[in-house]
Structure 1
Amino acid sequence: MISIAGVIGAGIFVGSAKAIATAGPAVLISYALAGALVVLVMRMLGEMAIAQPDTGSFSTYADRALGRWAGFSIGWLYWWFWVIVIPVEATAGALILGDWFPGVPQWAFALAITGLLVASNLLSVGNYGEFEFWFALVKVVAIVAFVGLGLAAILGLLPGSEASGVGHLWQDGGFMPNGFGAVLAAMLITMFTFMGTEIVTIAAAESPNPESGIRKAVNSVIWRISLFYLGSIFIVVSLVAWNAEGLSSAGSYQFTLEQMGLGWLTTALEFVILTAVASCLNSALYTASRMAFSLSRRGEAPAGWSRTTSRGVPAQAIIASSVVGFLGVIGNYLLPEKIFGYLLASSGAIALFVYLVIAMSQLRMRRQLDADGHRPEVRMWLYPWLTYLTIGFICAVLVLMLVQEGHRLELGLSLGLAAVIVAIGLTRGRRGPASDAGRREPGAPLDQAQAERTTPRT
């Protein structure tokens, strides 16, 4: 369920309206391009993860393939991305709950949501899985129901619907009313809603059969993106005009439900959005703590972060990550909006940096796997040409961010942060490899940990 619903974040419900307003019905091309990139990156990551499952995922693979500095740098950048997500999602959830209970201050809701999920993560990794199972189920049922109702409206089978057919795909200025440049601009908006797909390779390392879980997740990513993103957005742009008044303010899914005569379902949709927000925050806590654990085990973060409780939980890594998240929640209400906006912008291009490092690591690791005669069940298509094409596409998107005024600040701050961390990583890389002996994977039984105290990892 983590892999199935990992691509469904709050961004698809909230951010899609902005993308539609930018590109019109051709936003489908934007989602298809961004989705294709994610499919290729997940294929590469799956190849490495099946061969060598690890909670550090691509950070560990970068360490082995590109050098210690690369694993250090991308690991810390990824950790920063997810701890910044915590206050953003907590605030989004607080806004929804604040509308339902106007007498309670929003900051109280934001701290309560964060505190509840931190406590859950501290108890056991099973709690993370249990929460994500139910969060995922709510999101999947909601999207499938929305697509089903939308198809019924398109076919004229939904009583009381004011919208039917697919005429809005071309009637309101054409399929691509603002040109191909707008399609590329919308792609920048949609691309970052896919971040989180790679979490399954981190979570799978704590499962009894990581290879099977990763293989299923990678092989299903195409239909998941096709159904949840392309399918649902197709319903929206088919049934309502892309430039309709109120689309951006109401939200694309809410506005479409109203046009279908199902406005009474918007409250239920708000609950689904709240679920998506909680799911994203839950994943942010889990992912940040596991990346912190992996960095610590490789000697790239405080040693205490790689210690686990009797339940196999890296408690100090969770607490350290959540402290930054709590400070972010507080800062969102106390700091001037511009300053907090700069903090958010500093993570704006990290997703692309992660994808780039995954592709570059796969280039080298594939050669090593082939030389060792290792053939994982998932292999990158048309290697190495499709990997080179992916790298070129990512570089082209970074250039696009540079020329797009709305994304220039994100790219500049992200590059500045990356430059500082890479410089630190290059300095640390001269100190030699770190030992991870005596530490265990999260969730590992105590007898495994005891064995590792006397048997260093190879």
Structure 2
Amino acid sequence: MSARPTSTPIASPPPETDKVSAESGLQAGLKNRHLSMIAIGGVIGAGLFVGSGSGIAAAGPGILLSYALVGAMVVLVMRMLGEMAAANPSSGSFSAYADRAIGRWAGFSIGWLYWFFWVVVLAVEATAGAKILEGWVPAVPQWGWALIVMIVLTVSNLASVSSYGEFEFWFAGIKVVAIAVFILLGALAIFGVLPGTSHAASGLGNLTGHGGFLPNGPGAILTGVLLVVFSFMGSEIVTLAAAESEDPRRAVAKATNSVIWRIAVFYLGSIFVVVSLLKWDDPAILKSGSYVAALDAMGIPHAGQVMDVVVLTAVLSCLNSGLYTASRMAFSLGRRGDAPRAFARTSGRGVPQTAILASVAFGFVAVGFNYLWPDTVFLFLLNSSGAIALFVWLVICFSQLRMRGIILRENPERLVVRMWLFPYLTWATIGVISFVLVYMLTDPAGRKQVILSVLAAVLVVAVALIRDRVSGGGSGSDDAVTPSERADAVTPS
């Protein structure tokens, strides 16, 4: 494997080749409506529905500040990623940019860590979905439902990228509609005009009464940050998916510009409804879930069953996107020579079949660990991937610091999305993410995640550095440059 020169230019290709799919074997099968819904749904994970209760119990109404702080951080990170992705659409996204801006070891390391993260997520979400389905049809065991769900979504991803896009369009659409209806009903209940709403649930008294806005003190805001930060993972998926769309730059720019209102509406809007309708220490928040408890307070019948459908949809969406994301990262690593070359081969339909099958195979292994050794082996895998989201965001920040200069020097016309107040906000974001990582060490659960995730990262980085040394070094991502500059372009098999 030959080393790649760091001076490889990012030249402006002619319009007909200005697509990652043109030379990689991938096909531009994602339509604008697919990308729009992937962008919107990417910020709505199952964690928002099932994990927000613990945050509310810890921080009270002040959890809104926790979500706002993490949301602002994600907006800044997405702005940086959008700047790089709009200039150079790539199926490897931030991994390819880290390869070019920081070094080959960085692209290799963060790419494999991100792949590992999503493989573990596949097991978590498959199990969560299986529990819901088993409750509906107990004749099929939980492991059977997990197997069925994984097989169906694998077949969908193997069929074509448009199949993934279509599944995600409807999965994400249900999530979006559900939250929009929830916010609308919640607003009516808060103003006391929704029939069936209890008197105690109407108005805004729960925000400031019953211990105040911060019943557990200002420090609880940071505790809330630790509880909600990982529910935002997935925002970056649209930058990978954009590479298989008809107009990657437009898709990335649109998604980047809209991330503020998406987080404001879906996260802050829905959580505002919950903490307005319920007392922060209402036992139902932890027992039934924050959204189910809020629907009960509104007098909505069968709230639990309704939320089961929504949560199942969110789980299937996360599974679908997780398999897609893991396979595309594996595909990009294969194209850059950082994974088996077979990962970079595509079928006649433009699907990286080997990368998909390899990703789902490890996903099945992780599901098996979850059933056989949930409190030992799988817990270790879960903790060792727990802080990877923060590592990814840090790598995006450091990559953007260098990529801005590269883009301005070589192709300034491609800088269609710009990070605000560069480089000050970039450095500020690095500081905030680093602070969150350090603060996690003060939390027993967070400490284990950080330590094990750092160990996993050290192991992968060590492998990357050894490979660089053996192969003669080199950096620069040939998955982040244009078709004519890739000497190792892989054609469809």
Do Structure 1 and Structure 2 share a fold, with TM-score over 0.5? yes
1:453 to partner: Cα distance? 8.2
Cα separation, partners in 2 of 1:371 and 1:453, compared to 1, 3 Å? closer
* Aligned partners of 2:335 and 2:490 also within 8 Å: no
Matches within 5 A, 1:336-355: 336-355=374-393
Opposite residue 314 of structure 1, the aligned amino acid is: P
Residue 406 (structure 1) aligns with? 445
CA distance in 2, matches of 1:339, 1:326: 14
Q: CA deviation at 1:367?
A: 1.3
2:448 corresponds to which letter in structure 1?
L
Matches of 2:486 and 2:108 in 1, distance apart? 23
1:90-137 per-residue CA deviation (whole Å, 9 max, x = no partner) reads 000011111111222100001110111011101111111000000111
Deviation digits for residues 198-250 of structure 1, max 9, x if unmatched? 00000000111000100110000000000000000000000001101221010
Change (3 A) 1:456 1:341: closer
Structure 1 residue matching 2:302: 3-state secondary structure: helix
2-structure distance, mates of 1:197, 1:299: 27
1:203-352 to 2 correspondences below 5 Å: 203-352=241-390
Would the alpha carbon gap of residues 261 and 455 (structure 1) be closer, same or farther in structure 2, given more than 3 Å must change?
A: closer
**Structure 2 match to 1:46:** 82
Q: Alpha-carbon deviations, 1:177-218, whole Å to 9, x = none?
A: 111221101111111000000000000001110001001100
2:123 to 87, 103, 123: 87
Report matched runs for 1:142-181 at 5 Å.
142-162=178-198, 163-181=201-219
Letter in 2 for 1:78: Y
Q: Distance in 1 between matches of 2:403 and 2:231?
A: 28
The match for 1:16 among 52, 62, 68 is: 52
Whole-angstrom CA distance in 2 between matches of 1:403 and 1:454: 47
**Alignment coverage as a number of residue pairs:** 449
Spell out the pairing of 1:176-195 with structure 2 (5 A cutoff): 176-195=214-233
| Aligned match of 1:74 | 110
The amino acid across from 1:306 in the alignment is A
Q: Give the direction of change, closer, same or farther, for the CA distance of 1:143–1:348 in structure 2 (3 Å limit).
A: same
**Separation (CA, whole Å) in 2 of partners of 1:37 and 1:440:** 25
Contact 1:122 1:313 survives alignment (8 Å): yes
Residue 133 of structure 1 pairs with residue 172 of structure 2: no
Unaligned runs of 5+ in 2: 1-36
Tell me what 1:101 maps to. 137
Counterpart secondary structure, 1:179 = coil
Kindly provide the CA deviation profile for residues 53-77 of structure 1, in whole angstroms up to 9, marking residues without a partner as x: 0000000000000000000000000
CA gap of 1:266–1:425, structure 2 versus 1, over 3 A, is: same
Q: Does 281-290 or 338-347 show the bigger shift?
A: 338-347
Q: Distance in 2 between matches of 1:141 and 1:175?
A: 29
Report if aligned partners of 2:88, 2:480 keep a CA contact under 8 Å in 1.
Answer: no
Residue of structure 1 aligned with 2:101, choices 54, 65, 73: 65
Q: Distance in 2 between matches of 1:356 and 1:453?
A: 30
Distance in structure 2 (CA, Å) of the matches to 1:180 and 1:83: 36
Q: TM-score, normalised by structure 2?
A: 0.88
Equivalence for 2:67: 31
Task: Give the deviation of 1:388 after TM superposition.
Answer: 0.6
Cα distance in structure 1, aligned partners of 2:488 and 2:56: 58
Q: Is the 8 A contact 2:335 2:489 kept in 1?
A: no
Residue equivalent to 2:40:
4
Q: CA deviation at 1:266?
A: 2.9
Q: State the shift of 1:368 in Å.
A: 1.5
Residues 1:316 and 1:199: Cα distance change in structure 2 (over 3 Å): same
Runs of 4+ in 1 over 3 A off after TM superposition: 432-437, 451-457
CA drift at 1:454: 9.1
Aligned 8 A contact 2:125 2:318 in 1: yes
CA contact (8 A) 2:226 2:440 kept: yes
Query: Deviation digits for residues 373-408 of structure 1, max 9, x if unmatched?
Result: 514221000001010101111111110011112210
The residue aligned with 2:454 is 415
Deviations along 1:324-369, whole A, 9 cap, x unmatched?
0011112211125233111111111000000000000000011122
**TM-score normalised by L of structure 1:** 0.95
**1:371 CA displacement:** 2.2
Change (3 A) 1:154 1:436: closer
Deviation at 1:370, TM superposition (A): 2.0
Please name the residue that 1:444 is paired with: none
Q: Which has the higher contact order (CA 8 A, sep 6+)?
A: 2
Equivalent AA in structure 2 for residue 14 of structure 1: V
Q: How far apart, CA to CA, are the structure 2 residues paired with 1:436 and 1:236? A: 45
Question: 2:98, 2:395 within 8 Å by CA — same for their partners in 1?
Answer: yes
Separation (CA, whole Å) in 2 of partners of 1:452 and 1:145: 48
**Is the 2:123–2:370 contact (alpha carbons within 8 Å) kept by the matching residues of 1?**
yes
Could you tell me how far apart the structure 1 residues matched to 2:284 and 2:292 are?
10
Structure 1: distance between partners of 2:347 and 2:375: 39
Structure 1: stretches of 5+ with no match in the other structure: 442-447
Rounded Cα–Cα distance in structure 2 between residues aligned with 1:137 and 1:81 = 25
Cα distance between partner residues in 2 of 1:161 and 1:412: 46
